């Protein structure tokens, strides 16, 4: 059984182009006020929520019905490709995974629609750990809440 893998989900957006990427890169701290499964976020280290590598955020959220915690840093932001790469670590994540990286991308589709793609790259600490499929369901749920919020904004 493979210890590492990659999972992704792509969801069509209803909010105008650019709004989702703006939320992910400049207002991520607001997610706790938008999404039911995100219970709490706080700046653990650093002065700015959105600095690359310089800030560490602490997240408390629900995966598979269980309250889960982790820390997160931004690895990179690509404005041209509307992509943000995050590294998740510590807390419950580190008990199951050596590597847990999330890439979020806003995609302009050829048919004029816009999608959000969430890609999760992981390495399990052992064969006994399941692939993080619960995270795909989590990202699907919070994306829909974020999209609905952005439609109203």
Q: Judge whether residue 153 has pLDDT over 80.
A: no
Rounded Cα gap, residues 141 and 99, in angstroms: 23
Helices (H), the chain: 19-26, 31-34, 91-96, 133-152
Calculate the average pLDDT of the chain: 93
The two three-digit tokens of residue 61, written as one number: 């959220």
Q: How many other CB atoms are there within 10 angstroms of residue 17's CB atom?
A: 14
State the pLDDT at residue 113: 86
What is residue 51's predicted lDDT score, i.e. its pLDDT?
86
pTM of the entire predicted model: 0.92
pLDDT mean over 103-124: 93
pLDDT value, residue 54: 84
- What residues contact 27, with CB distance under 8 A and at least 6 apart? none
Query: In terms of residue numbers, what domain contains 111?
Result: 4-152
pLDDT per position as a tens digit, 57-111: 999 999 999 999 999 999 999 999 999 999 999 999 999 999 999 999 999 888 8
CA distance 97 to 24: 24
Position 88 scores a pLDDT of 97
Query: Any idea which residue has 């039911």 for tokens?
Result: 36
pLDDT (0 to 100) of residue 4: 95
Assigned token pair, 79 = 């404005």
Give 7-58 pLDDT, tens digit per residue.
999 999 999 889 999 998 988 889 999 999 999 999 888 888 888 888 999 9
pLDDT of residue 1: 58
Overall domain count for the chain: 1
What is the CATH classification number for the domain harbouring 69?
Answer: 3.30.530.20
């Amino acid at each position: 059984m493979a210890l590492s893998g990659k999972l992704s989900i792509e969801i069509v957006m209803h909010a105008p182009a650019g709004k989702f990427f703006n939320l992910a890169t400049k207002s991520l701290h607001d997610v706790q006020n938008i999404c039911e499964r995100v219970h709490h976020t706080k700046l653990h280290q650093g002065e700015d929520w959105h600095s690359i590598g310089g800030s560490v955020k602490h997240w408390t959220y629900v995966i598979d019905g269980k309250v889960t915690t982790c820390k997160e840093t931004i690895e990179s932001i690509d404005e041209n490709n509307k992509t943000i790469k995050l590294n998740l670590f510590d807390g419950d994540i580190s008990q199951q995974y050596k590597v847990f990286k999330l890439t979020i991308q806003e995609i302009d589709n050829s048919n004029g629609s816009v999608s959000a793609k969430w890609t999760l790259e992981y390495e399990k600490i052992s064969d006994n750990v399941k692939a993080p499929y619960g995270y795909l369901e989590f990202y699907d749920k919070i994306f829909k809440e974020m999209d609905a919020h952005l439609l109203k904004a």
